[in-house]
């Protein structure tokens, strides 16, 4: 509860704070010189949640915190970490909430199994229906 209030306060504070003396983090609005590392960092940023926004990734947000997180991601990638390591580090600190890519755990396997299960179920239902229809009418055409 208290944390939520703080987060909301942060959202409103962000545009004002941005004009004040505190400059944005080094790599918030700067790309890495190495194109390959930048591409990796960018791909990772689109899958991380901006913690103070309403459903935006840190790659799509002007919030100060999103800028800090972008900078952090770029610096860690530049230091040689893999995107998975950076994600794991962030998840460790903020929980699975920070990652838009839900991990495969006992709590999420229904989510990940859903597409295949639904396709199978739908296909089976449609096939059954078609078969019954054909045997029901025979060759009366």
Partner 1 sequence: MIAETGLLLLWLAAALAVLQALAGFAGLSRRGEYVAISPAARPLAVLQGLLCLAAFGCLIALFLRTDLSVLLVADNSHSAKPWLFKFAGAWGNHEGSMLLWLTILGLGSIGVALFERQLAPRIVSATLGAQAVLALGFYAFLLFASNPFARLSPAPPEGAGLNPLLQDPGLAFHPPTLYLGYVGLSVAFSFAVGAMLAGDANRAFARAMRPSVLIAWVFLTLGITAGSYWAYYELGWGGWWFWDPVENASLMPWLAATALLHSVSVTANRDGLRAWTIMLALVAFSMSMIGTFIVRSGLLTSVHSFAVDPTRGVFILVLLALYIGGALALFGARIGKVASGATFAPVSREGALVMNNLLLSVILAIVLIGTFYPIAAEALGYRLSVGPPYFNRAAGPIALGLVALLFVGPLLRWRRDRLARLPVIAWMMLAIAGVGAIALVVLVPRSAILPALGLALGGGLAIASLLPLTRRSLRRTPATTWAMVIAHFGVAVALIGMASNAAFTEERLIALRAGETTTVGPWQVELTAIDPVVGPNWTAIEGGLVARYDGGAPTTLHPQLRAFTTPPTETSEAALLTRWKGQLYAVLGQPTSEGRWQLRLWWKPFVTLIWLGGILIALGGALSLVARIGLLRRARHYVRQVMP
Residues numbered 15 to 34 that lie near partner 1 (CB under 8 A) are: 15-16, 18-19, 23-24, 29-31
In DSSP notation, 88-106 reads: HHHHHHH-GGGBSS----T
How far apart CA 113 and CA 127 sit, in angstroms, is 21
42, 68, 81, 89: which one binds partner 1 (CB under 8 A): 42
Per the CB < 8 A criterion, the answer to whether 10 and 53 are in contact is no
Q: Decide: is 134 part of the binding site for partner 1 (CB under 8 A).
A: yes
6, 9, 85, 102: which one binds partner 1 (CB under 8 A): 102
6, 85, 100, 128: which one binds partner 1 (CB under 8 A): 100
Q: Decide: is 80 part of the binding site for partner 1 (CB under 8 A).
A: no
The torsion defined by the Cα of 103, 108, 111 and 117, in degrees rounded to 10, comes to: 110
Structure-block tokens of residue 132: 């019954």
What Rg do the C-alpha atoms of the chain give, in angstroms? 23
Nearest to 128 by CA among 139, 136, 118: 136
Q: Decide: is 3 part of the binding site for partner 1 (CB under 8 A).
A: no
The site for partner 1 (CB under 8 A) is made up of 1, 4, 15-16, 18-19, 23-24, 29-31, 36, 39, 42, 46-47, 49, 54-57, 59-62, 95-102, 107-108, 111-112, 114-115, 118-119, 122-123, 126, 130, 133-134, 136-137, 141
């Amino acid at each position: 509860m208290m944390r939520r209030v703080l987060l909301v306060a942060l959202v409103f504070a962000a545009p004002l704070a941005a004009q004040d003396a505190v400059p944005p983090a080094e790599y918030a609005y700067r790309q890495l010189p190495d194109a390959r590392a930048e591409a990796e960092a960018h791909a990772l940023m689109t899958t991380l949640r901006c913690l103070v926004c309403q459903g935006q990734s840190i790659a799509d947000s002007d919030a100060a915190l999103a800028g800090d997180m972008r900078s952090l991601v770029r610096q860690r990638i530049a230091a040689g970490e893999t995107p998975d390591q950076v994600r794991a580090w962030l998840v460790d600190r903020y929980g699975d909430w920070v990652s838009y890519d839900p991990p495969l755990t006992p709590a999420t396997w229904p989510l990940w199994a859903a597409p295949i299960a639904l396709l199978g179920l739908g296909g089976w239902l449609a096939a059954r229906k078609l078969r019954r229809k054909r045997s029901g009418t025979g060759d009366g055409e």
